Amino acid sequence: MLAGLDVGGTFTDAALVDGKSGRCIAWVKAPTRTGAVLPGILESLERLLRESRADARTVKRLTVSSTLGLNALLTGNTRPVGVLALPGPGIDPALFWPRDPLFRVLPGAQDHRGRVTAAPDPKAVGAALESLKKLGAKALAIVCKFSPKNPELEKSLAAEARKIFGADTPIVLGFETSGSLNFPRRLHTAWCNAALCAVSRDFHRDLEKASRDLGLTCPIHILKADAGSFSATEALRDPASTMGSGPAAGLLGILAMARPSGTDSPLFGAADKYMIDMGGTSTDIALLAAGQPLLAREGLTVSGRPTLIRTLWTRSIALGGDSALRCKNGEVSIGPDRSGPALSLDPEQKDAPFSRPATLTDALNVLDIARVGDTHLSRHAFMRMIDDPACPPAVKNGQADPEDQSRALARLFLAGALRRIKEKTSEILEEINSQPVYTIRELLVDKKLEPECAMFIGAPAGALRAELEKALVLPVVAPEESPFANALGAALARPTKAAELYADTLLGRMTIPDFRVEKNIGSDYRLEDAGRDMSRAFAEAFRDEEPGQAQTVFAESFAVLDPSGRRGRILRIRSQYAAGLVLKGEG
């Protein structure tokens, strides 16, 4: 059995799931307390075990999706972070870093191969550290440009920092946050990790203790924004990655819910598909590429800070069940503003004239596609709209019955809404498929994303499924709404990891920053050796898991000629465990 916990803003949901079938055995909902997530977690876990009468020892893993980190950042409940930045040549960091008295730019630089081109100035480092300490920094982020290729400078500064700040102050190095190249994002990511160290440590300590008290003996995992999980130990080192896991839990939940029992429908295999989530105000579109959630190219942005945290790729349109409907000069418009709940659901709107526009849900009521609330109110609102001189004249063509005219108008609104979704999906495909490529081979063998179906969720999804299917000209599945989808998704999350390897045979150095691996290499180090080192790093880090083979995203080898005429190779590999459900036959 697997347990999943989703800490939302209002409720903390817990689910107990059969690890083989993916079936939900039990679920509970408990209120989330403001300011403290742990009580809600304890309450829901305790009730889950009690109500299911499950033996706590049979739970194989507990996976938690929590807003703790995000809330801590948003509310400023974090430790003050001192930053040492070594930008070297390039864009002035003052341009991308917010005004911050704890931010220090220092001399010392590494170049694009990770070679130290300017040594740090020990005096300047010492002075910066002393002043940060005096100003109350309780955690440090130390980030040098190109540190994924060589952590040397960051490490030397960390050693200096230890002398001044002592052993207990969290010090996050840029090298440890990600192997991706992006200095501003690495700075922000390291800052987030440093800021969250303390709050995350307390949370994990309490969570660990509480789950043991409840008799749980299983490993505890935390859900990440990339729709995968990692162990609580890793979460302690990289707390920032746990932010933004809510949408990821939702996506996994839908995948789990939509699994038809015992069928081999192409909808649930490796096909590319859209995930369309229509809420009240907006419709969010995510993508599964070859069955795996598509991730943003760079990373999550948290309270204005662009980071390297891997996260789902999503796009939104301001269109939902509550979008305001209006007629203007014989044309219909939908949104972008929200009118509020459907008029049919609004007790204030009993007495016409209505104080605000009808909504998309009202239009669905008029068309008998939905039956939400007092549908009479929706009809009434449309009767008024067809009398408006701004109403499209086509609505009245050849039909005298005001009910027919209302339906014709509602049909126009619905068509407009569906067209917006259709247009957005085309735009999304264009955007994704026009990503840059860097080799002749990629340019010639151009693999494009081609969704074969769509999963459609949210309140209006059931009612609109058939209509959306017609508009997209694709099969559309609308899994039933479930109060425990997110907790289910968390329970079924697989561990994920992405790692980059850099090797430079002329410099004799190989690094895999994501696993904090560094080693010296000989001139005969080849791509096969690098591949083996990468596999080994994955295997060692995931000893207790059974995630299977890591996928290689790219493996490149460049012949390099030093200005002095020495020949060598630069190797780059990116590998990953991609997100998906722990169930067999998924992803």
Closest to other proteins by CB, 87 or 151:
87
Report the candidate in 154, 156, 128 with the shortest Cα–Cα distance to residue 141: 154
Closest to other proteins by CB, 212 or 566:
566
Provide the minimum distance between the beta carbon of 144 and other proteins in the complex, in angstroms, as a whole number. Answer: 11
Provide the minimum distance between the beta carbon of 310 and other proteins in the complex, in angstroms, as a whole number. Answer: 10
Provide the minimum distance between the beta carbon of 432 and other proteins in the complex, in angstroms, as a whole number. Answer: 6
Residue 162 tokens read as: 């230890």
> Alpha-carbon distance 183 to 167, whole Å?
26
Contact 315, 424 (CB under 8 A): yes
**Other C-beta atoms lying within 10 Å of the C-beta of residue 462:** 16
Residue 330 tokens read as: 């014989």
Closest to other proteins by CB, 81 or 287:
287
Adjacent-strand bridge partners of 24: 17
Residue 431 identity: E
Per-residue 3-state assignment (H helix, E strand, C coil) for 1-57: CEEEEEECCCEEEEEEECCCCCCEEEEEEEECECCECHHHHHHHHHHHHHHHCCCHH
Provide the minimum distance between the beta carbon of 261 and other proteins in the complex, in angstroms, as a whole number. Answer: 33
State how far the alpha carbon of 129 is from the alpha carbons of 94, 190, 191, 343, in Å.
19, 17, 16, 60
> Alpha-carbon distance 558 to 148, whole Å?
18
Provide the minimum distance between the beta carbon of 392 and other proteins in the complex, in angstroms, as a whole number. Answer: 32
Closest to other proteins by CB, 502 or 538:
502
Contact 331, 300 (CB under 8 A): no
**Other C-beta atoms lying within 10 Å of the C-beta of residue 477:** 19
Residues interacting with other proteins, by CB under 8 A? 87-92, 94-96, 98, 109, 111-113, 117-118, 145-146, 180-185, 296-301, 304, 306, 311-315, 431-432, 434-441, 443-444, 556, 558-561, 563, 567, 570
> Alpha-carbon distance 400 to 398, whole Å?
7
Residue 480 tokens read as: 């039933």
Closest to other proteins by CB, 4 or 151:
151
Provide the minimum distance between the beta carbon of 499 and other proteins in the complex, in angstroms, as a whole number. Answer: 17
Provide the minimum distance between the beta carbon of 398 and other proteins in the complex, in angstroms, as a whole number. Answer: 43
Closest to other proteins by CB, 94 or 127:
94
Closest to other proteins by CB, 76 or 563:
563
Contact 304, 98 (CB under 8 A): yes
Closest to other proteins by CB, 65 or 307:
307
Closest to other proteins by CB, 87 or 228:
87
Provide the minimum distance between the beta carbon of 18 and other proteins in the complex, in angstroms, as a whole number. Answer: 32
Contact 500, 580 (CB under 8 A): no
Residue 521 identity: I
Provide the minimum distance between the beta carbon of 434 and other proteins in the complex, in angstroms, as a whole number. Answer: 5
Asked whether the bond before 353 is cis by omega within 30 degrees of 0, the reply is: yes
